[in-house]
Amino acid sequence: EKKSSLGIAFTQKASNFDQARVLITGGLGQLGTGLAQVLRMEYGPQNVVLSDIVCPSRQVIETGPFLYADILDYNNLREIVVNERIGTIVHFSALLSAVGEQNVPLALKVNIEGLHNVLELAHRFNLRLFIPSTIGAFGPSSPRNPTPDVTIQRPETIYGVSKVHAELMGEYYHHRFGIDFRSLRLPGIISADTNPGGGTTDYAVQIFHDALTTGHHTCYLRPDTRLPMMYIHDCLRAIMEFLDIPEQSLRQRTYNIQAMSFTPAELTQEIQKVIPEFTISYSPDMRQQIADSWPQVLDDSNARQDWHWQHHYDLQQLVKVMLEKLAPKYK
């Protein structure tokens, strides 16, 4: 028997199923296929089930198990957890910041109702649960450079509000019911093989495609908008390493992680070192207001101290790897 931080006694149940049997929700978004690949290397190809509500490509089907899973359908999720003997859920399904503002009712459903379903399953089957949070969980009254782990969080997007809710609910389920909940506040993630869908940091992916195709990018943010960013390899490694930490070594359940911070102008300069003829123009839209309310730099000293988090890619390395990976696609 273990006491929660409220002093309420609860029985710590062993997980019903093996934690190395992982279900990834929203698996066909920017992070899912990449995470499945690295998890499958560690846990075995059959132990990681990707799921989504869209049809997978042949490549996805050929590389490991894929199931249709609607996070709004609790019974559907429960059936998968039981039938597949899932011990860990990585819950990626969410509407991101920009697209969330365009469809608040859907964001409420996916980001909040979906979260409640997943939390309830984690409680019922004592699952380990990883849910990414975001720089978007901070708002204009948070310190912006650097932004510590514990500070004012008054976000002004539905995405941010729902992510603060996820952090708090996960931490509540942890101290109340003993669920092994873990969360990382991710910066904008930059990847070559998969695209982000509807975020405020998406320009930092599109700019590479434009640099290699039209040679011009029209940016929806001002040139001096500084935001935290991370190359996908660092992000996936962070999630893997964080999942592997023994529970007793975690001093907190939600950590900031930081790699680099840059502005559109700085990113452009770095791309121009490789493609001198590349040009950019600026046409800020509603995403500017969102970016202006977000951190410029996350303080991730707790992650670095507690579980030795380290990023490998800086701005220069990011530009090199993105252009190298994308160039063959446009030849």
Q: Which is nearer to ligand AKB, 134 or 142 (CB)?
A: 134
Q: Which is nearer to ligand AKB, 47 or 225 (CB)?
A: 225
- The angle formed by the CA atoms of residues 256, 257 and 263, to the nearest 5 degrees, is 110
For residue 104, the SS3 value is helix
Residues 6+ apart with CB under 8 A from 77: 69, 70, 71, 117, 118, 121
Residue 240's identity, in one-letter code, is M
Q: Which of 159, 220, 231, 313 is catalytic?
A: 159
Q: Nearest CA to 38 among 90, 115, 95, 96?
A: 90
How does 284-317 read in b/e, with b if 16+ C-beta sit within 10 Å?
eeebbebbbbbbbbbbbebbbeebebebebebeb
**Residue 189: phi, psi to the nearest 5?**
-100, 135
Q: Which is nearer to ligand AKB, 134 or 268 (CB)?
A: 134
CB of 86 to ligand AKB, least distance (A): 25
Token pair belonging to 293: 């309310």
Count CB atoms within 10 A of the CB of residue 244: 9
Q: Which is nearer to ligand AKB, 51 or 200 (CB)?
A: 200
Asked if residue 222 lies in contact with residue 181, where contact means CB atoms within 8 angstroms, the answer is: no
159 is catalytic: yes
Query: Which residues in 184-213 contact ligand AKB (CB under 6 A)?
Result: 188, 196, 199-201
135: contact with ligand AKB by CB under 6 A: yes
Asked if residue 92 lies in contact with residue 110, where contact means CB atoms within 8 angstroms, the answer is: no
CB of 186 to ligand AKB, least distance (A): 6
CB of 322 to ligand AKB, least distance (A): 16
Q: Which is nearer to ligand AKB, 196 or 264 (CB)?
A: 196
CB of 104 to ligand AKB, least distance (A): 15
Query: Which residues in 10-69 contact ligand AKB (CB under 6 A)?
Result: none
Asked if residue 96 lies in contact with residue 197, where contact means CB atoms within 8 angstroms, the answer is: yes
CB of 328 to ligand AKB, least distance (A): 26
Task: Give the interface size with ligand AKB as a residue count (CB under 6 A).
Answer: 11
Q: Tell me the per-residue interface mask from 214 to 233 with ligand AKB, x by CB under 6 A, - otherwise.
A: --------------------
Residues that bind ligand AKB (CB under 6 A): 96-97, 134-136, 159, 188, 196, 199-201
Active site residues: 159
